[in-house]
Structure 1
Amino acid sequence: SPRLKIPGFILITSRSHPKHGMVTYIRLELKNVTEPIPTTDDGFTISIRVGDLAIYNVYKPWSFPALPPSNHPAVYFGDFNSHHSQWGYPSNDGAGKQLAAWALVEDQCLLFDPKQKGTFHSARWRKDYMPDLCFVSMASRGSPLPVSQLVLDTFPHSQHRPVIIHIGLEVPIITSAPITRWNLHSFMAAIEETIGCLPATPENFERFTKLLKKVAKKNIPCGYRSFFTLCWSPESETLLRESEASGDPDVATTLLESLDSARWLRWTEVMENMDFTHSSRKAWNLLRRLGGAAPAQHQTPSITANSIASQILRNSKTIASRSTKREVKTALQVSLTQCAPFSSLSETFSRAEIDTALSATKGGKAVGVDGILPDFLKNLGPRGHDWLAALFTKLF
């Protein structure tokens, strides 16, 4: 029938019934597929073999059938129509108890994640259920086969949701947020090398800003890692190549265990080094990324910006009398005549003053009129700070 054709797949076998049925498709590029294995379960299971892996497509309409014995390694998946608390149901029925007992006796591991949505969405009750299950056999080291499951969105004209089951080693890949990360070490080195050729005069300030922008554009990469694996090491790369070459599930298990242990050690170090006494910025940033911080509560101020601007405008229009202006000018002339010819303000700016001012400047702010980011000035080297000190002295 044309309705049974799927582009890119071939129908290997099927079971038909007036009220229910089941089919098994395989991709065209699969070459090591064995013909269906005959079973004695009244047509409720389709068994095929792909390489060394036995795959059982199961459908249980009303009563729990006798599943065929597992041939290691094996994967059972399908619509079991069984209720049990192990896969998210509030109560257990007879078929669910039998299925849980079968999994315990046959040493099968249930692939179930309560965080994922249900595989069946009831249009009548508007709830999600989990009748579609996947069981995998245990490996030789006592751990289940490396299998992952992903429930997709609702499929058209069906209350069952498609489920993608990935069998084999799957290295977890993290998709990072598109946040620019700057490496300012090369920027500082390039400025230190070229700043000595530029005299620190007010006339050269425009050349100074052009130098910062040019060096920043050349030496600061604004990219980020789109995809990466946390705690990946050369040992992990070696294990991955060995697993791909041999196909040994024990090597894949060793790789995943090494990644888990490395991540646990890194998490422990982060928690132990978290310090709120000196600077709580890093700690709160970590909590926000983990989703544990309370959302910020923004309160509307009682005084608006328009009211402040109106008050400033009214104050600026205050008309002073001639006598008041005359008194202010006289007081200013007296103050100027009484000033000392030399004071602490006449001294040159030092590098320590520049360091103090730049350390108090906040980073991550917008550019000014000159188009220079505060991060550029904060990441200048000693020569750059000396250049700024000489420039400010001449300007003053």
Structure 2
Amino acid sequence: MSQESISYLEASARFSQESRLLPGSRFRVPGFACLRDDKNNGKCGSCILVSRSIPYSQITLPPHDSNCFNVVAVRALDISFLSVYIPDPNMSILTNLFSIIGALPPPVAVLGDFNIHHSSWGCYQNDSLSSAFLDLVDDHNLCILNDGSPTRRVLPGQNPKSAVDLSLCTPATSSRLTWLTLCNTHGSDHFPILMSFPDSSNYILPPRNPRLKFNLSKADWTLFSQSVDALLVNLSPVPHENTHAAYSIFRNALLSAAETAIPTKNASRGKIPSLPWWDSDCSDLCKQRKEAEMEYALHMSPANYISYKEVAARTVRTLSERKRLGWNMFYAAGSSTEFVNIYPRNRLPECGNEESLSDVVATINAEVQLAIQQALPGFLTEVTTSVTRAIEKKFAEFENSEKTLGNLYDIVKSSAAKNSVTIKKMQSENTNLTIQLKSLQSKLNAMEEASLKQEQWSRLQNVEVVGVPESAGESLPTIINGIAKQLNIKICQQELDFVHRIQAKRSVKGAPRNLIIRFHSRSKKDEVLSAARKCHGLTSKDIGMQDFEKAFDRVDHIILLQKLQQLGIHVDLYRKI
């Protein structure tokens, strides 16, 4: 959890995993005691921040390997709290951890990042250790407080159901607790978990005094100088053996004079003013980071994730710059080369002559040099530690960015591979469809040719009679019998398939429609054509009608079409004929 979220949330205790603190390094949050279990390389770690306004005591735990897992415990609010972080869980670590839990005085509450997955507390899958973990929870009579909500923000393309942060407690305590996750991670990749005791009336936190700031633009410096002179007029010479007492008097005098002559900035009721270095840019960036995180939570796309990471990195960078700038301004204001004579001249340390004054100055210089020599190693160590931690943090951010880009590259590569497979499948299907279309076209052409041949074959049994007058109510079989009588042949009704009239393709106005006669056998058709050739033509008068035009077409249509095909007539014109 970031220090911003620590300052934002009001709580009696805060439990943080992956604290990333080196053993022996200094970490301080105003108003809180810090209980830690650090890893030797400064990675991982677990810590508890307990408000100094409530009674508490750290619980001494049995020896364990801090390089495998980190645990720290505290007794507060009549409950034993345990903060746990397990980077790589295994059965040996779980057994050791639950033996530590079993040694705590009840009731017990355990909070931590276990990196174990099971669907019973909100994960999308079960890992190999989850069943054994549930058995250990049952053996120690503990309850899991998780309600199925995710506790970790995942990368694009991953299943959002990730709950690796677990909260355990004894059954008697679970009835008093309320458990929920907050939607704003404050720059972390884990959602903060809020546990509250609605009935903890015996531990009412006292109101915190706001951090009041002096409004230097409205200061009365004349009154300030007079107040300082009035408070320091009775200050006795500073003895070498009691410099701390003199320093306290001097400090209290300055603060009292400041409270008299310099007004303080108004603080909102129930709120703590922002830090001295905080400005509108910090507030705007935190707001943008929250909005980007909410947008990514609604639409977990790579573009929204990259946008959120950029805003989060810019926020961290800006906050660090503002902190450094605020410290530099404070240091510059306190290290001015212009000295103000705080002591009145008549209250300087008593000196008999110039030589004694030189001795005093030499003594002061020696004490200052000694103090610098004593403080310099610690200062250099702290600076080295801070620089090392900053470099490690930057490398960790670089590694996270590299992993993120790698994951995004894998997602894009996987999508491209899937699209490539889909395109190849579509190309194969297109090729198959083209082959099938060609096959169907070939079959269709064959069927058309066969149909044409069948149609021509069926026409071999047809005879077309042209020029027979047409009248209403005529009897076509009677006309056929009249034609047969003139040709000296006999046509029975059983030898006819059908007889009907059709309109000619090039019809003449007033001309009768042609007769089409189909015989059941081709031999009968040939007999009729042979008799017609011998007759040298018939007229309507021959068959009992008043039209004297020739009434019979003696040309075989099949022979005519074959002649046209041999002469090279185009196939479309051939089909029309």
- TM-score (norm: length of structure 2): 0.27
- TM-score (norm: length of structure 1): 0.38
The structure whose RCO (Cα within 8 Å, separation 6+) is larger is: 1
From the two aligned structures, give the one with the greater strand fraction.
Answer: 1
From the two aligned structures, give the one with the greater helix fraction.
Answer: 2
